Amino acid sequence: MEIVDAAGHRRQESPSSFFLGMVSPENNKLFDKYEVGRLLGCGAFAKVYHARELETGRSVAIKVINKSRIAGNANLMNNIKREISIMSRLRHCHIVKLFEVMATKRKIYFVLEFVKGGELFARVAKGRFSEDLGRRYFQQLIAAVSYCHLRGVYHRDLKPENLLVDENGDLKVSDFGLSALRRSDGGDDGLLRTLCGTPAYVAPEILAKRGYDGAKIDVWSCGVVLFVLTAGYLPFNDPNLMNMYRKIYKGEFRCPKWMSPDLKRVLTRILDTNPETRITIDEIKRDPWFRKGYREVKEIGGGGGGCGPAEDEKKLRDLNAFDIISFSRGLDLSGLFDSRYRAAEDVELLTAEEESPERVIGKVEEAVKAENGAVHLRKTKGWGVELEGQNGNFVLGLEVRRLTDRLVVVEVKRNGGEAAAALWNDKIRPAIQVSGG
């Protein structure tokens, strides 16, 4: 059996190892190169394991994507292609490293830096940070985001769940599953139009769906992150999702009394609902509050632990990179954040000019009919439906609400793991998808 590695080199492996998923059951060896250990996490399309590189002894994280789970899903395949293109541009000490990519006919393996400290999300769950500590993490976040923007890369889903902390207490940006390249899905004006992001962190111009600047929405999300780190709660939050969106759209938030005047001023400039007057990355870097204790990140070649572009870019295994497949849901902080707001894919936005609540529900009903009785549909209050698997293995709830005269929101709630995710991603989402959504 032929294996293709990240550099495009091909080599033969025994058929027996292929049918065993490339991991020997006797010694947990992957490609005779990595010793695979415990399961760290899993999602609808990938699983991640702790592993040890046999030659060096270093710890790594290995994501395993089953190709059968993404077969036929053009959006996921395009995301993978785009993210590989993005990876080739990035190399920074505050970005999770990708050491190697391997593939067989059935699976894709991503060998990533193992970030021992876990999510920043888990740390802030224990209580708000001091202003100095919040500023330190914010400085490192801005350094990484600035580096990306200079290379035409926009993250579009910055939040504490996607920020990791290493054993030295330094921040690492991860999970670029929603990232985009400059003009990659924009029109002649260069604006992006894909609706994405985690609801509590999305910029108001995304809700308006008139096209947006990827750099400016990343700045907004960085501001929400800074607020969460130093306040201990979200600036825009409400048990009712529509009320939360209205607060974001209007920019309605209050800084707590313990924040310094300078921090409040910075947050006000970042969380400006007008993207034209919102502070830029360069302006943030020049701000006196930001610059306190700031150390410029120096670019160091070599692809190791330094920041900046390495000199040897011939091998993909030497690239520092973002996660290719977004699978992590993050820690459930019941009591601090509403769990409904964690997942970017839990919400779809459609324009009322092209759709109405009635038509959206009608499309869902048509999609369910095509399942030939495998899915039961029950209407709920308002414009809502509840879908349940015939054997009760999953429940998928959808509710359509009107946000403004121009915009309706489809709120999605899932319970049932991969079965619910498959119904949503493969059947329902394509049925209600509209141009530009």
Using pLDDT thresholds of 50, 70 and 90, give the confidence band for residue 250: very high
Sign of the torsion formed by the C-alpha atoms of 338, 344, 347 and 351: positive
Q: Is the pLDDT of residue 282 over 80?
A: yes
pTM: 0.67
Those residues whose C-beta lies under 8 Å from the C-beta of residue 252, and which sit 6 or more positions away, are 236, 246
| The predicted structure's pLDDT at residue 201 | 87
**Cα(21)–Cα(105) distance, integer angstroms:** 10
Query: Which string of b and e fits 164-197 if b means at least 16 CB within 10 Å?
Result: bbbeeebbbbbbbbbbbbeebebeeeeebebbbb
Q: Is the pLDDT of residue 311 over 80?
A: no
Residue pLDDT, tens place only, 132-187 = 999 999 999 999 999 989 888 888 889 998 899 999 999 999 877 666 766 544 44
* DSSP letters spanning 360-420: HHHHHHHHHHTTTTSEEEEEETTEEEEEEETTSS-EEEEEEEE-SSSEEEEEEEEESTHHH
Query: Which string of b and e fits 220-238 if b means at least 16 CB within 10 Å?
Result: bbbbbbbbbbbbbebbbbb
Q: Is the pLDDT of residue 36 over 90?
A: yes
Catalytic residue list: 157
Phi then psi dihedrals of residue 318, to 5 deg? -90, 0
Least confident of 115-119, 318-322, 363-367: 318-322
**Cα(159)–Cα(171) distance, integer angstroms:** 12
Amino acid at 241: L
Query: Which string of b and e fits 87-123 if b means at least 16 CB within 10 Å?
Result: bebbbbbbbbbbbbbbbbeebbbbbbbbbebebbbbb
Provide the Cα torsion 18, 19, 22, 24; round to 10°.
-130
| Secondary structure (3-state) at 230 | helix
| The predicted structure's pLDDT at residue 87 | 64
Cβ–Cβ < 8 Å for 17, 26: no
Provide the Cα torsion 131, 133, 135, 138; round to 10°.
-140
Top pLDDT among 345 and 384 is at 384
Closest CA to 396 of 373, 374, 421: 421
Top pLDDT among 323 and 126 is at 126
**Helix H or strand E segment including 87:** helix 74-87
Q: Is the pLDDT of residue 322 over 70?
A: no
Amino acid at 377: L
The torsion region of residue 431 among left (phi > 0), alpha (psi -120 to 50) and beta comes to: alpha
| The predicted structure's pLDDT at residue 188 | 44
| The predicted structure's pLDDT at residue 263 | 98
What long-range pairs does 44-50 form, CB within 8 A, spacing at least 24?
44/69, 44/327, 44/417, 44/418, 44/421, 44/422, 44/425, 45/69, 45/70, 45/76, 45/325, 45/327, 46/325, 46/327, 47/327, 48/327, 48/328, 50/114
Closest CA to 237 of 196, 198, 263: 198
Mean pLDDT of the residues in the chain: 75
Sign of the torsion formed by the C-alpha atoms of 314, 315, 319 and 323: positive
Amino acid at 186: G
| The predicted structure's pLDDT at residue 25 | 45
Q: Which domains does the chain have, with CATH numbers?
A: 2-113 (3.30.200.20), 120-298+316-324 (1.10.510.10), 344-432 (3.30.310.80)
Closest CA to 398 of 367, 436, 427, 424: 424
**Cα(156)–Cα(423) distance, integer angstroms:** 25
**Cα(346)–Cα(190) distance, integer angstroms:** 27
Those residues whose C-beta lies under 8 Å from the C-beta of residue 316, and which sit 6 or more positions away, are 6, 7, 87, 88, 98, 100, 101
| The predicted structure's pLDDT at residue 372 | 84
**Cα(52)–Cα(60) distance, integer angstroms:** 6
Angle 261-270/214-231 helices, nearest 10 degrees?
A: 150
